[in-house]
Structure 1
Amino acid sequence: MKWVKLALVCVFAGLLFSGVLNPILAHISDKSWLSGYLTDKGYVGYSLIVLASFALVAAGGPKQVVAFVFGYVYGPIVGTVVTLLVCLVAALANYMVARVLLTHTLARFFPLRMNKFNQFASRAPFMKILMLRLLPVGSNLVTNLLSGSVGVPVWAFITASAIGYLPQTLIFALVGHGINGADHAMIYTSIGLSLLSFILTALIYRDHLKHKLSTLQVEGKAS
């Protein structure tokens, strides 16, 4: 099974570097180019744009660009759904590659970082991954690889990622579609989700700090 997954990764890498997806990746944020490309290629063009977006996100590229593109191509609602699916599949691919192929390699080269992440995510993994997804900074690729390598439960990883990706995805899909043409309810929803994400992030981080402080106090009394 491990070799089958490795073979699939190699096939996808070959497709990526063969030049099939290069034009799309080079123009993925250019609305005029995308319009002409989709008009010319039709359903094949739509499929290749999805594949190129997957490659971009899986390689650590910004999911905001993908949300912008799909908001323009499909509209804000369908664009948000398609972006979430692409991002979740890419995150799961990173997670599985790390879990199946890279665990020992990452442990050898980054033992301190893996240990710190394991301590961070071992308690309430859903909430911790949710916090990392809601934060507008940080690398999704690093989070995916570390989550897979330390064995974060896959269901917590996927559900927290889906919820955490939603606010920014919806906002950038609206921008791609054109906020002037968007429904007011969608705009208010995106603003509300953004505010909620900041509040949730603050609450989760406060809980993490309280737990860390209580652990240090217990260790101090024990010593």
Structure 2
Amino acid sequence: MVNIVQFTQSEPHSIINTLLLFGFLALATSCALPRQIAALVAGINLGAVMGAIVATLAVTVGCWLTFSVSRYLLAARVRARYPDKINSLSDFIAEKTFLKVIVIRLLPIGSNFLTNIVAGVSKVSMKAYVSGSLVGFIPQMVIFSLAGSGIRLGAKTELIASGVLFVIALLLTAYLVKVRKKNSKNATSVN
């Protein structure tokens, strides 16, 4: 087996090596590799900017692959077994799907793989789900690509920047959750 990290470090800006890394990360994230690890590997091999771009696109393709397999191969069986749960999930995420998916992706918790499977078996729009995921992935991809680049270069600046961005992402996530809870309470009190 070829060591992908060592292989791409020999010529980090080679188009072929970048495409190989992209394909590997897309396939690996579609099979449950955490997106943060994908960004870290891309940052180590390609630097902060190119690593963030490649990792974001690869993780988005991995998201689409898992969503598609779930939608076209698993959905009928899962819907038949858990119709009430799938219907309530579909109803919840169907309204403002793009924005809700961005919020879900900003949260640094949960399994990307399981989220893609659950979304695939629901009745959400694939376009809104995948595009919302793409936008929601960006902050973590930048943070972990910067960290990977800092590890590669031994640069404190990239490591500090990634830590600051991580804290900002956590604060933004907490704010969005607070707004969501407040909106839910207001909607409940109106009814």
Q: 1:109 aligns with which of 59, 72, 81?
A: 81
TM-score by length of 2: 0.78
Mapped partners of 1:36, 1:94: distance in 2: 27
Mapped partners of 2:63, 2:160: distance in 1: 28
RMSD: 3.1
Structure number with bigger Rg: 1
Q: 1:171 aligns with which of 122, 127, 143?
A: 143
Show the counterpart of 1:19.
none
Q: Is the 8 A contact 1:131 1:200 kept in 2?
A: no
Unaligned runs of 5+ in 2: none
* 167-176 vs 76-85, greater mean Cα deviation: 167-176
Tell whether 2:56 aligns with 1:79: no
Show the counterpart of 1:35.
6
Show the counterpart of 2:120.
148
State the one-letter code of the partner of 1:209.
K
CA offsets, 1:151-173, max 9 Å, x none?
32334323321222122212221
Secondary structure of 1:152's aligned partner = coil
* 166-175 vs 119-128, greater mean Cα deviation: 119-128
CA offsets, 1:29-57, max 9 Å, x none?
xxxxx2257649x8765544333222220
TM-score by length of 1: 0.68
Tell whether 2:97 aligns with 1:125: yes
Change (3 A) 1:204 1:112: farther
Unaligned runs of 5+ in 1: 1-22, 29-33
State percent identity of aligned pairs: 28
Q: Residue 134 of structure 1: CA displacement?
A: 0.9
CA offsets, 1:2-33, max 9 Å, x none?
xxxxxxxxxxxxxxxxxxxxx35xx56xxxxx
Change (3 A) 1:113 1:136: farther
Tell whether 2:75 aligns with 1:100: no
Mapped partners of 1:39, 1:194: distance in 2: 30
Change (3 A) 1:97 1:181: same
State the one-letter code of the partner of 1:35.
Q
Change (3 A) 1:146 1:65: same
Mapped partners of 2:172, 2:83: distance in 1: 30
Tell whether 2:173 aligns with 1:201: yes
State the one-letter code of the partner of 1:57.
T
Q: 1:212 aligns with which of 149, 168, 184?
A: 184
* 157-166 vs 84-93, greater mean Cα deviation: 157-166
Mapped partners of 1:178, 1:168: distance in 2: 15
Give the structure, 1 or 2, with the largest relative contact order (CA under 8 Å, sep 6 or more): 2
Mapped partners of 2:116, 2:7: distance in 1: 34
Mapped partners of 1:217, 1:139: distance in 2: 33
Change (3 A) 1:191 1:124: farther
